[in-house]
Amino acid sequence: STDLTSTVGYDSIIQHLNDGRKNCKEFEDFLKERAIIEEKYGKELIYLAKKKPCGQTELNTLKRSLDVFKQQIDNVGQGHIQLAQTLREEAKKMEDFREKQKLHRKKIELIMEAIHKNRNLQYKKTMEVKQTCCFFLQRRLMLLTCTCMMLALLCFSSLSRFWQLFLKLAQTKSALEDSDRSYQQNVTTLEKIREEWQKEHIKACEFFETQECERINYFRNALWLHVNQLSQDCVQNDEKYEEIRKSLEMCSIEKDVDFFVNLRKTGNLAPAPVVYENYYNTQRNATPVRSPVPVPISRRGPLPTPTNAPGEPDYATVDGYSLI
């Protein structure tokens, strides 16, 4: 500003820096809130995997797939809890960066506050002296008037009156010279203070610009890192889900059915037919019914391959699955 005592430009810079600090605080709070959500979600997943039954009476290969499923869900929950801790650490780093910048900027602000105060005081003092000089300039006009009067009194008045006016003239002239000298000294002092203030103001602006560049760079990198962390979490979760898919591919319908048959089998012969015995006419020679020879139970043919009903998802294989 052309006004020497104005701080409108400096105040604008300080306001912008404070706004930047506020923006960092908002992102820090965002990370903290996200950490709370991730931790709560992770704990809920772990509780779901450990406490809720999920096919607990299944047998053999499908049981192993379900065990892998629950274990990987537990791992996903642990991953979300770990992500929450990582987000809190990033929020703490952002807080430390913000407070560090605030501390460094406070030193510069104190210097600028002191030099602004000194500049304004000197400017005020100089303007007061200037007004005094203006007053004595008016007195100088009176001095000229007195001089004319003295010349007139030399001819028409007494000597005592002459010397009174001469003394008043000398005093006025001395006061005028002192006032002018004081005014010059204050202007010189103000100019030195103005030059010092201008140098410090430039230094402060350069420092503030450096801080703003650092803040923008740090903020941008923090956002980039946060997105990478979320992407990494998704990749790790997909790896866990891939383990479930691999386990399901090892699930064999035929093996599970054979396993159940072998586990619960009661024999390999069918019950014999019931033989008729004649208790009504014991003396009649009744030809007994010959009991047939037990026939072993034959196993059924191979199980049909499962097919998908309309609307059901297709089974994915490892070869056909792409992990990004």
pLDDT of residue 275: 84
Per-range mean pLDDT, top range of 143-157, 198-212, 292-306 = 198-212
What does the alpha-carbon distance between residue 209 and residue 262 come to, in Å, rounded to a whole number? Answer: 79
Sorting pLDDT into bands at 50, 70 and 90, what band is 171?
confident
Whether the predicted pLDDT of 199 surpasses 80:
yes
* Alpha helix positions (H), 250-280: 253-264
Q: Can you tell me the mean pLDDT for 312-319?
A: 50
Q: Give me the long-range contacts of 186-195 (CB less than 8 A, separation at least 24).
A: 186/122, 186/125, 186/126, 186/129, 187/126, 189/122, 189/126, 190/119, 190/122, 190/123, 190/126, 193/115, 193/118, 193/119, 193/122, 194/4, 194/119
More confident residue, 145 or 221: 221
pLDDT of residue 32: 96
pLDDT of residue 290: 54
Sorting pLDDT into bands at 50, 70 and 90, what band is 321?
very low
Q: Domains in the chain, start-ordered, CATH in brackets?
A: 7-147+155-264 (1.20.1270.60)
Summarised one tens digit per residue, pLDDT across range 62-112 is 888 888 988 999 999 999 999 999 999 999 999 999 999 999 999 999 999
pLDDT of residue 324: 37
More confident residue, 134 or 3: 3
More confident residue, 45 or 283: 45
Q: What is the amino acid identity at position 33?
A: E
Q: What is the DSSP string of 96-159?
A: HHHHHHHHHHHHHHHHHHHHHHHHHHHHHHHHHHHHHHHHHHHHHHHHHHHHHHHHHHHHHS-H
pLDDT of residue 317: 45
Give which of 123, 112, 308 is closest to 205, Cα–Cα.
112
Sorting pLDDT into bands at 50, 70 and 90, what band is 291?
low
What does the alpha-carbon distance between residue 171 and residue 315 come to, in Å, rounded to a whole number? Answer: 113
Average confidence score pLDDT of the chain: 81
Give which of 89, 108, 90 is closest to 211, Cα–Cα.
108
Summarised one tens digit per residue, pLDDT across range 254-269 is 998 899 889 888 888 8
pLDDT of residue 61: 84
Q: Of 51-55, 75-79, 144-148, 205-209, where does mean pLDDT reach its minimum?
A: 144-148
